[in-house]
Amino acid sequence: HAVAETSGTLEAKAFVTRSEMVEHAFYQFLNLVQILGLHARANGVGGAAAVLALQTAPWLWRARVPVNSFSANYDLKRGGGDPRTLVNVMYRIKKYQYVFYKHALLHGLNVSACLAKAPPRVRGRLFRAYWLSLNAAYTHEFFLQTLVKRRVLPQPAMLALNKLLMAGSSVAAIGVLWRFVDFRVAGASLVLNFTHRHHDFANVLGLALVARGFRVLAER
């Protein structure tokens, strides 16, 4: 993986780097593939395992995409700043949000939808509110920093809006997590992230296979 020093544009003097734009584009593509797969399942398309494989396939190219670290902003061992400042506390929260998003709302939701007898109601208000807040959080961080650079928006206001986006996306995710995500699957995905790193495609498909096996045995 090509690793950049830091990730994020919360500081007043921060610039959006090319590597950050490339990485954000990768995750936006993941979101696109995920929602297309969920809509396909909602429209009665069969082959749940094939849909899951297509949703997860972009991870096969993750090593070619830059990695921008939130923790580099507040990790003193890596030359980061004071971890107690407001900006660095926000970066730490963003780090935790990313981990939760990846294993609960991305891998966890995809695997849970693959195993579910009825696909998630992606056209319902609950899911639409989550999807809107998720994509707003992704796109507005760079946009708000651009407004700061152009002196249209003061940095304190930008930070306040980022807090609102972070809180809003977290609240909107609660209903989706509760109704559509198997927490055992999300937890297993998190464990695999530390025990079998950089193998998301194999981890997700293997997890789905094992979870399906346990479900079949439980139904006997």
Indicate the angle between helix axes 125-149 and 18-42, nearest 10 degrees.
Answer: 170
Output the CA angle 159-25-112, nearest 5 degrees: 95
Enumerate residue ranges in the chain where pLDDT < 70. Answer: 1-9, 12, 14, 74, 76-80
Exposure letters 32-71 (e unless 16+ CB within 10 A, then b): ebbbebbebbbeeeeebeebbbbbbebbeebeebbebbbb
Residue 40 is predicted with a pLDDT of: 94
> In angstroms, rounded to a whole number, what is the distance separating the alpha carbons of residues 105 and 180?
9
* 45, 39 Cβ separation under 8 angstroms: no
- Torsion angle of alpha carbons 79, 83, 89, 90, nearest 10°? -10
Residue 78 is predicted with a pLDDT of: 63
Residue 72 is predicted with a pLDDT of: 72
* 80, 5 Cβ separation under 8 angstroms: no
End-to-end CA distance of the chain: 44
Residue 2 is predicted with a pLDDT of: 41
The pTM of this model reads: 0.89
Q: Which residues contact 168 (CB under 8 A, 6 or more apart)?
A: 133, 136, 137
